[in-house]
């Protein structure tokens, strides 16, 4: 189980470093009813993780023979598709991050700096008017509709399924991965619950750092994960 958890670590980090999720959460946590909306967003995020993993376990169990044996062709194809997607996503994030850094470096006036600085998507500016119900749905949607987060969760579930562990170790491993995947939302929510308005400075600082740095960092991480999946897929297909 220890080796499996090490294998799952990069996939968990791929979810942790999702910039849109953190920026959306920060928008929720500095809005009206921040505590209730933050808890609702967290519950939505956890719901999405649980539902995706349960659905994948069901699908993979249906596709995998009872004796399991060598990896089936569909496993290699799935890894190949996800690997290619993650590598392409990594290239996009790297290029986008470099472009933002060049724009900010070329800024010569306050107006230029404001225009060059990464901003929240326009639809997130309405978060200030959200209630807990909408915040809950936002937490689900941000995870499910983010193909990178979704891909990492699918591959993590596939690796857990293929490890052929008993029910107990499978449940524990899934819970640990789920906790890691929930941590980027869980930790800021706990900070807000403890500090209240005193957490605003931390949240704004986190948003600024994430907006300026995570595209490149996440691009590197996704490239590593993508090449790992491509390597496994090619090895299985050539075996």
For residues 6 and 8, give the distance between their C-alpha atoms in angstroms, rounded to a whole number: 5
Q: Could you report the per-residue pLDDT of 209-221, keeping only the tens digit for each?
A: 665 566 666 677 7
E strand or H helix that includes residue 72: none
**Tokens describing residue 1:** 């189980």
Question: Cβ(160)–Cβ(1) under 8 Å?
Answer: no
Nearest one of 138, 175, 141, 183 to 157, comparing CA atoms: 175
Q: How large a percentage of the chain has pLDDT more than 70?
A: 76
Mean pLDDT, residues 151-168 taken together: 90
Q: Could you report the per-residue pLDDT of 83-128, keeping only the tens digit for each?
A: 898 888 878 777 766 665 555 445 444 444 444 444 555 555 566 6
pTM beyond 0.85: no
């Amino acid at each position: 189980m220890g080796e499996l958890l090490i294998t799952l670590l990069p996939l968990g980090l791929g979810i942790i470093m999702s910039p849109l999720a953190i920026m959306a959460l920060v928008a929720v946590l500095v809005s009206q009813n921040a505590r209730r909306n933050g808890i609702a967003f967290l519950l939505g995020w956890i719901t999405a993780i649980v539902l995706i993993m349960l659905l994948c376990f069901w699908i993979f169990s249906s596709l995998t023979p009872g004796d399991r044996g060598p990896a089936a062709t569909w496993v290699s194809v799935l890894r190949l598709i996800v690997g290619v997607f993650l590598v392409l996503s990594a290239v996009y994030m790297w290029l986008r991050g470099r472009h933002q850094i060049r724009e900010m470096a070329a800024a010569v006036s306050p107006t230029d700096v404001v225009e060059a600085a990464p901003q929240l998507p326009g639809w997130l500016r309405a978060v200030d008017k959200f209630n807990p119900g909408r915040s809950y749905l936002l937490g689900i949607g941000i995870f499910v509709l983010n193909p990178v987060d979704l891909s990492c969760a699918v591959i993590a579930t596939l690796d857990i399924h293929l490890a052929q562990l008993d029910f107990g170790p499978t449940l524990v491993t899934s819970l640990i991965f789920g906790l890691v995947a929930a941590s980027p939302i869980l930790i800021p929510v706990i900070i807000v619950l403890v500090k209240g308005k005193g957490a605003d400075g931390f949240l704004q600082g986190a948003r600024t750092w994430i907006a300026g740095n995570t595209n490149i960092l996440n691009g590197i991480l996704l490239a590593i994960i993508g090449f790992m999946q491509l390597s496994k897929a090619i090895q299985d297909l050539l075996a």
